[in-house]
A and B are shown apart, each in its own frame.
Chain A
Amino acid sequence: MHNMSIAELGLGLRSKTFSSRELTEHFLRRIATLNPRYNAVITVTEESALASAERSDEQLRNGAGGDLCGIPVLHKDIFCTRNVRTSCGSKMLDNFIPPYDATVVENFADAGAVMLGKTNMDEFAMGSSNETSFYGPVKNPWDITRVPGGSSGGSAAAVAARLGAAATATDTGGSIRQPAALCGVSGLKPTYGRVSRWGMIAFASSLDQAGPIAKSAEDCAILLQCMASYDPRDSTSVERAVPDYRATLNDSVAGVKIGIPKEYFSDGLDPSVEAAVMDSLAALRELGAELVDISLPNSHLSVPAYYVIAPAEASANLSRFDGVRYGHRCDNPVDLEDMYRRSRAEGFGEEVQRRILIGSYCLSAGYYDAYYRKAQQVRQLIRQDFVNAFEQVDIIMGPTCPSPAFKFGAKGDDPVAMYLEDIYTIATNLAGLPGMSVPCGLVDGNPAGIQLIGNYFDEASLLNVAHRLQQATDWHKLQPGGLD
């Protein structure tokens, strides 16, 4: 059952081949047996999962319920879940139980999906390897000595190991696409504003966007259909009709212009990853797509601009974690300053503290113009690069990340090397564009991903091209060994 697509699972549920309760129990058993090896899931909500599976079964018996009714999913632990601990991978929130659901969580519940539990993640979504989680690193199911990517490593690994039918995730600089690539699964970061951020713990508010991680582009389409909504509780949510993403999945890609940015194929890209990416592009050309060489001349500025803007926003977003109202508070503070200092020093890990310091520095008097203002100007240039490119092409494709999953600790003491993991993904967040990663083959037994970047609110084209690629190839069906 765990290898079936969401559409197939839906058919099975509707034809009474199995019930949602049986499906839920099946995934709960897999979590119980397999998760200790991967550490992908940090909270299992067995009791409420079974209860909601039974409610969904009731709905299905009455002939009601949509595509996700009865489908067991996992939520990244960045989404607030009512009465269920929401840690954001941090000691700071190890004791935090929200009294409300994130809109994304609500949307899934309304659709009758079953929440199995919460997935592990880099602390406050800051990391590209899942090594910064307070709950320990997630292991890549393809090779448990390697990282799963981050920050949504738990969600990507859980889908790769088939611990749930799909998982939610968030992406601030590549946090959906990079782990999806490293774990051999499909992941989509929608246009900024497409999915509500209400109840999603903020890292960098102008860049954060939620999206799905699943086994295929088709599954991603079904999940995005549920996640995308206008939400008056999020001022940056965009009031715009959500198209039927499944309706256009099978459209022909003949004549679709795919832009290949030369900057994404330069030094630093693993030649084997490049070869895998080229194989996928060749497959698309066979399907009639047209490959066009393009340039995104300001690409090299995206990582530096990102590492000013994201930490700057984070430095303010994380100020609320002060030990006063919720979250970690140090023992026996002697005064207010001591309480602030120790609560935050104890509650936040090293990478989070590093980014708070970087961000505070960039915003400080005398540095603001040189860093924050400059980075915002660069952001405009990067956005303009894409606007220009989309005058020539329909979508843009290239590698998701420069190399396959690395070994634990390989970049541990070099933050900049870690930051370069997101060199191909960060620009889309700065521009607010939708981006997707789908598997494109193995490099020495480890998955590589190909990235698709679309125009604003054109998730449908990404899903269409990715789906046609997956109809023509089998890379997305590859699975890590030792699972069954």
Chain B
Amino acid sequence: MQWETVIGLEIHVQLATATKIFSGASTRFGGAANSQACAIDLAMPGTLPVLNAQAVDFALMFGLAIDADIPMMSVFERKNYFYPDLPKGYQTTQLDKPIVGAGRVTIATADGGTKEIRIHHAHLEEDAGKSLHEGDFGSQFSAIDLNRAGTPLIEIVTEPDLSNATEAVTFAKKLHALVTSLGICDGRMAEGSLRFDVNVSVRPLGSETLGTRTETKNLNSFKFMEEAIVREVARQIDVLEDGGSIIQQTRLYNGDTKVARSMRSKEEANDYRYFPCPDLLPVVITEARLQRLRDALPELPDARVARLIERYAIAAKDAQILASDVALANYFETVAKHCDDPRLAANWTTGELIGRLNGEGLELAESPIDAEQLGILIQRIGDQTISGKMAKQVFDGVWSGAGEVDQIIKERGLKQVSDSGALEQLVADVLAKNPAMIDDYLATEEGRRKKKLGGFMGQIMQASKGQANPQQVNQILLAQLQSLIQSRGD
């Protein structure tokens, strides 16, 4: 049987506010355990929440960016359940009246087209703390770190509009680009700044009714998300083809061990006893506030792709990559500013730079080579100071901290030799030492001689320690070979 996959996502996005959603404690990542939890975060008796206006603005900016309906009023509710890292015994969240209503995000599809993914809504809520079940506490104890408790989140809920893992990942990347472009999220997935819950079901191709779905929670990398979907789809199809049925359940996927397991079934689900939080007033959104935010909205990824293509005439594929991350796009634009060849700048940024960063597990912000230096390096290729091959050496030098581009070129004597007299001599010397190669060249029929040039070029470049200008060498070599042909023919 042919199966069709239906995927919906719920995405938790940590908002990049300086303080928590209901308290003045810092949201900085990585502080000593419980050093960033104040009396409110600890749910001490008598403490009360005060809503962080910046968090509301960030949520509204997201709403504006996805062209969403934004209701005039939204309401916080209490979601009641007991867990040690949930200090109040309820999570303050939104249910019936979320801050952002229905919207849409357009993604590029594999066939080169586009597809609109509907956003059901996005709501504001607080994050819980962390429970630590291993470590120095012995098997008898669990430890609680409440630094994260109260960190503002928006939870974005899509309609089940995604059809496969690739689309889901494309959408996830697009969303990442969107929230980082807006500056409402730092986008650091390894730190949990974006977490994906994936709802997956399958149904016979052409069927109108949805199959029973499972939810795999808390996927914090695109790769794990893709793997989890692929595996879950395969599992569901196996179960159904064996005549079984899918049990609605919440699942966990361990990206390191590649093992997925059931966390709880529908029957074990809590009755959360939601009701409006009486400590917080309904949030009333004025048109003036929306207009102020709309006016200040930064460039969004789609607009950025279009602008990069237009202004720099770079390939669409490169523009997509560069525009996916506002910092990367800014980096590229700085590189382009320092050289005359934007296409080469795009190639180097998406190729060499990203490759090295990924290879060494570094963030762009941690790059040992800054955009200005990369721009200068590319300019040195353009102005023929160095060859592309030499440029890689210089790149390595800057990367390892040996100095700046021009300094390294000078100190290492990498400047390309373009003096034609010197190059004429060099080529002549190499030809003189290799009569057998010349014979071979001459014996080759004319249409195929081009292939034989590589051998001469290699020897010449080696003799010049790589410094010879390859284009020039190529011309001189052809000229000298030609004159040899003529002299022999005479």
Contacts and interface: CB of A to CB of B under 8 A. Distances in A.
Interface residues of B, number: 29
Contact of B88 (A80, A204, A320, A365): A320
Contact of A235 (B43, B80, B279): B279
Contact of B89 (A232, A322, A336): A322
A319 B46 contact: no
Nearest to A320: B43
A322 B46 contact: no
B240 interface: no
A368 interface: yes
Contact of A319 (B50, B51, B82, B275): B82
Given A319-B80, A368-B275, A232 B50 contact: yes
Residue of B43, B80, B87, B279 with most partner-chain A CB within 10 A: B279
A86 interface: yes
A316 B45 contact: no
Nearest to B51: A235
A205 B45 CA distance: 12
Contacts of B82: 319, 322, 340
A343 to B, nearest CB: 11
B321 interface: no
A199 B80 CA distance: 22
Interface in B267-307: 271, 273-275, 278-281
Contacts of A365: 271, 273
B78 interface: yes
A210 to B, nearest CB: 11
Interface residues of A, number: 44
Contacts of A312: 275
A209 B183 CA distance: 41
Interface string B28-51: 000000000001001111111111
Interface string A337-361: 0001000000000000000000010
Given A98-B44, A363-B273, A236 B87 contact: no
Contact of B278 (A100, A313, A363): A313
B132 to A, nearest CB: 14
23 contacts: A80-B46, A88-B45, A199-B46, A201-B45, A206-B278, A232-B50, A233-B48, A234-B48, A235-B49, A235-B280, A235-B281, A236-B281, A315-B80, A315-B273, A316-B78, A316-B80, A316-B273, A319-B90, A320-B88, A322-B84, A325-B44, A325-B87, A363-B80
Given A100-B39, A372-B275, 18 more contacts: A79-B46, A80-B45, A80-B46, A99-B39, A99-B44, A197-B48, A198-B47, A202-B279, A204-B278, A205-B279, A232-B50, A235-B280, A324-B144, A325-B87, A326-B42, A326-B44, A365-B273, A368-B275
Interface of A: 79-80, 86, 88, 93, 96, 98-100, 102, 197-202, 204-206, 232-236, 312-313, 315-316, 318-322, 324-326, 336, 340, 360, 363-365, 368, 372
Interface of B: 39, 42-51, 78, 80, 82, 84, 87-90, 142, 144, 271, 273-275, 278-281
